[in-house]
Structure 1
Amino acid sequence: MTSLARYSEDLEVPPLSGGARAAVLLLALGSEGASRVLKHMAPNEIVALRQAAASLNEVLPEQIEAVVEEFSDTFKRGPIFPGPSQQMTKLLKSALTENEFQSLFPNERQDDIDRILYADTRNVWEAMAEMEGAVLAGKLSGEHPHIVALLLSKLPSDVAVTIIKACDPSMRNDIMRRMLMVKPLAAPVQALFETHVREAYLVTGDDADNGSSHMMLANVINRMDKTDGNELIEVIETDMPEDAEQLKKLLFAFEDIPTMPARARLTLFDGIAADTVIMALRGADETIRESVLAAHGARARRMIEAELGQNVQPLKQDIDAARREIANLALEMAGAGTIQLRDEEGSE
């Protein structure tokens, strides 16, 4: 319900009551101001306002002034807006078309918006900052140094210093060096990272997995741009070649499909909808396209090729989403032992 509608229910203004106060306030805004407010009101609220206005006779200037003053006082006393960022996002999405919103905020995909509005991940760093440094340092000893560097970069400097002091000296130097190279994470990767931190350090339980840090970093890299991901692997490979090799086994992107065994490609694409395949192949290079098409029967291949021949320009985010869906399924099937992502002897 809008703040205007809430105002109409509980305030006690002697000359007017109920929806009449909201109706008077809306009339006082004039046609231009009222039209902006009405856009954010539910149909039943608008009907109620009209009925309230119909019940009024002449409204005196003193009554209008009293209503405006009461509303102003209530607004100041609020909290009418529990979260300005959330309220503003909701307001913008209701006032703008989806294309307009995307053009203004290209980095905010729908899943990111939903996370901002509904997911309770924004206090994870406050909770981490309240933990005892020595205790947290002990828990972080099993993480990959780059994950620790990312985590510390999100904490207040005094908290980070306490944790670093409690770390093993050899790990401490590596972490500090990596902190100099930390770059801001993309929103989806940031959400994934926060989820890992919450589950690993803020949720009670003793089921931690020794390979969780490698899996976490692999999940991050799998969602990064291919070039950025390769650069990160090179950084890790310089000082920790064994860790880099473990990570490589967990990495897979849509661009890696040509390196898959032929049988694995057949199994993978047997469970993927044609529409997803077509979207993912938009703009793909010839090597990838041929590898994917070869995994389909003659009839399906002709249909996909016919669709790709159409002059269609889909959104890049839709193409990326389709490619990510295919890569995620490949990783899931590999984890279940259904397919191999690469020939064992051909692994680099």
Structure 2
Amino acid sequence: MTDTIQDIAGDERAAILLMSLGEETAADVLKHMGAKAVQKVGAAMASLTNVPRDRMELVIDNFVEVLESQTSLGVGSDDYVRNVLVSALGEDKAGSLIDRILIGRNSKGLEALKWMETRAVAELIRHEHPQIIAIVLSYLDSDQSAEILNLLPENLRVDVMLRIASLDGIQPAALKELDEIMERQFSGAGNLKASNVGGVKVAANIINMMDGATEQALIELLREQDEVLSQRIEDLMFVFDNLADVDDRSMQRLLREVENDRLVLALKGANKTVKEKILANMSKRAAEMLTEDLEAAGPAKVSDVDAAQKEILTLARKLADEGEISLGTAAEEML
């Protein structure tokens, strides 16, 4: 059952909000609070572990609603929230959050699905025809589609993924009709961005965003259903082992953005070639320290290693999108 804001204690709400703003901003806020309040919020912050994204977004959305009700502040709340979040998180990190808060609340139709909680979208579309689900997931961002796909029954995942890979665009009129269907489901009507949805690249992007175990199981099932199409999807996927093929300049650029603890965790599940590639693109001292960290690190959960690798791959794709690095032929085709 999805949490409501009433299910989250006030201390925890404050703790989540402060931790989402970063250390410096949180410290500035705490300076203006009384000792008892700081103690209570500090204790709540210390007890927080692995806060789900939807819980964090619920708290931030509530903060925005409260802020908007404070008309005596004498400021445009949209501009205020935008400036605060950019100042606290930086342009890149704040971007998607700003979109969700300031744009998402007014979105309708298919576009509104991008701003809904993942489980809610899955419940909304799970009983639709697989072709409808395929079009919807093709329209959404790959990471959101991957999360939704994880919530669907396994046999439906395969059917939907094959349909996504086989899509060769959709007529604007048909997309508009689907948008109107979604509108009637939860009241709204969105602006359609494009009719070019689906295809092998979209399927590869979505699978890339899934956790390792689910990804592998889905690929095996796809092979059983359509070996040729499955191979085309796999050819366009960019996985952690493919980092061994990235050129040295791109690898060095990527490593500048990766936190050491995440790199250590990711490398615990990497093959020898990838490890050697990464170490070769670090200074001698940095490579020695990384090697020592790897040797000293204890056992790690496969899911944690997989998550760290996905973070690095997501960062690599972002840098590739921005033209900062090259990921090689297969990945460039996918992007």
Q: TM-score, structure 2 length as denominator?
A: 0.44
Determine which structure has more spread, i.e. the larger CA radius of gyration: 1
The higher-RCO structure (CA 8 Å, 6+ apart) is: 2
Say which structure is richer in helix. 2
